[in-house]
Amino acid sequence: MATEIAASPPPGAGDATSARTDAPAPPLRRIWNHYAVVKVRKALVVVFVVANVTFFLGRAMPGDPIDVMAGRLTQNGMTMEEARAVAMNSLAYDVDAPLHQQWWDFLVGLVTFDMGNTINRPGVSVMDAIGAYLPWTLFSIGVGTVIAVALGLALGMVMAYRRNQFLDHVLSVAASVLGAVPNYLIAMVLVVGGGMYLGWFNPIELRGTVSPGVQAGFNLEFIGDAFFHASLPILTYVLAIIGTWMLVMKASTTEVLSEDYVTVARARGLRDRRIAVAYVGRNAVLPLVAQIAISFGTLVGGAIFVEQVLVYKGVGGLLLDAVNYRDYPLLQGLLIIITSCVVAANLVADMLYSRLDPRIRD
C-alpha cells in the first residue's frame, strides 16, 4: 500500500494497483466458460458413478425377476418348476448371462442412450416407459418447487423484517409444523379433509394426469387440464417444503439485516424498497440458491409416496413396480434419469450462483 502515498501527485495513479491486476480483457470470458466446462464434467462423473451403483445395487437385492414372477405364479397353484418355466418364457431376461456380460451391455447402452427393453413389459423400451411417466413428475414437482420457493422466500423475508412480532410468531409456528409433517401425510390430509369432509373438490375426478379424451398439445384445454389434475400434488409439494424455505430465508435475512452495508444503505437515505430488494433480498438469497436444487432432488424421492396416495401417474409408481418386480433395466433407467435431473438442477443452480455473486466468478 506504500504506493498509495508515494504516488500521490498524479491523482489515483499509484492507487488501484490491487484491482483486477490479473485480468487481460478477452480471457475473462474464457475463464467463465472454463468454469462451466469443469462443472459439466464433474456432473457427468457423478451420473456415471450413480449409474454403476444402481446396476450392482439392483442385482444385489435378493431374488431376480424370474424368482419374483415364479413366486407369484406358485400362489395360483403352479409348482415351482412350472412357474419358473412360464416366467422364463414370458420375461425378457436371461438368467444365465454372466454378470460381467450384463455389465458390459449396460455400459454400452449407457453410452449409446439405449437402455434396452423392460423385463416385465415385453416389447416396451425403457426409454418409452420412462418418457410416458417422468414428464408428469417433473412438471408437478417443478411447479411446486417454484411456487414454494418464491412464496417461502417472500414470507421468510417478511418474518425477518417483523421478527419477534405477532405475524412472525404465527408464521414461525406454521412453518415449523409444515416442515415436520411428511409429504404423504399432507397428501392424505388434503384428500380426506378437503375432498371428503369439506367437499371442496371431488378427489376421484382429480386422479390421473389428464382427463379422458383430452388430447396432448400446446393448447389451453390441455394445459388447463394438466394443471387441474396436478393441483393436489403441486399443493402437497408446496406445503411440504415451504416451511423450510420460510425458516431458512428468515435466518438468512436476519443475518443480512445486521450487515454494515445495510446500515450504510439506510444512512445513505435509500428508499426502503430498494434496500429490501437489492441490498437485503439479493444477499439473503445467495446462500440459498444451491439449496433449491437439493430441495428439488429431495422432492423427486418423496414423489413416490405422494403419487401413490394421490393416484397421480408419475414416475413414482413406475419406480415402485421396477423395484418390486426386479425390473433391472427399468430400475437402472429410472434412477439414472432421476439422478441426471437432480444433477442438472444442481448444475443450473451453480451457474446461476456464479452469475449472482460476483465474488465467485473468477
**Which stretches of the chain bind other proteins, using CB under 8 A?**
1-2, 4-5, 8, 11-13, 15-16, 18-20, 258-261, 263-272, 274, 278-279, 282-283, 286, 356-359
Determine the Cα–Cα distance for residues 49 and 51; give it in Å rounded to an integer. Answer: 5
We find the least distance from the C-beta atom of residue 45 to other proteins, in angstroms, to be 31
Determine the Cα–Cα distance for residues 81 and 86; give it in Å rounded to an integer. Answer: 9
Residue placing its CB nearer to other proteins in the complex, 72 or 266? 266
Residue placing its CB nearer to other proteins in the complex, 227 or 261? 261
We find the least distance from the C-beta atom of residue 157 to other proteins, in angstroms, to be 15
Residue placing its CB nearer to other proteins in the complex, 210 or 356? 356
| Tally of CB atoms within 10 A around 212 | 5
Determine the Cα–Cα distance for residues 254 and 216; give it in Å rounded to an integer. Answer: 46
Max Cα–Cα distance, the chain, nearest Å? 102
Please, what is the end-to-end C-alpha distance for the chain in angstroms? 23
Partners of 117 in beta bridges: 125
Residue placing its CB nearer to other proteins in the complex, 2 or 220? 2
We find the least distance from the C-beta atom of residue 282 to other proteins, in angstroms, to be 6
Residue placing its CB nearer to other proteins in the complex, 173 or 278? 278
Helices (H) and strands (E) in the chain, counts: 16, 0
We find the least distance from the C-beta atom of residue 27 to other proteins, in angstroms, to be 16
Residue placing its CB nearer to other proteins in the complex, 161 or 228? 161
We find the least distance from the C-beta atom of residue 352 to other proteins, in angstroms, to be 13
Residue placing its CB nearer to other proteins in the complex, 244 or 354? 354
DSSP-assigned letters across all residues of 185-231? HHHHHIIIIIIIIS-SS-HHHH-SSS-TTPPPSSSHHHHHHHHHHHH
We find the least distance from the C-beta atom of residue 169 to other proteins, in angstroms, to be 14
CA-based R_g, the chain, Å: 27
We find the least distance from the C-beta atom of residue 254 to other proteins, in angstroms, to be 11
Determine the Cα–Cα distance for residues 181 and 172; give it in Å rounded to an integer. Answer: 15
For residue 320, what are the contacts with CB-CB under 8 A and spacing of at least 6? Answer: 304, 308
Determine the Cα–Cα distance for residues 322 and 34; give it in Å rounded to an integer. Answer: 39
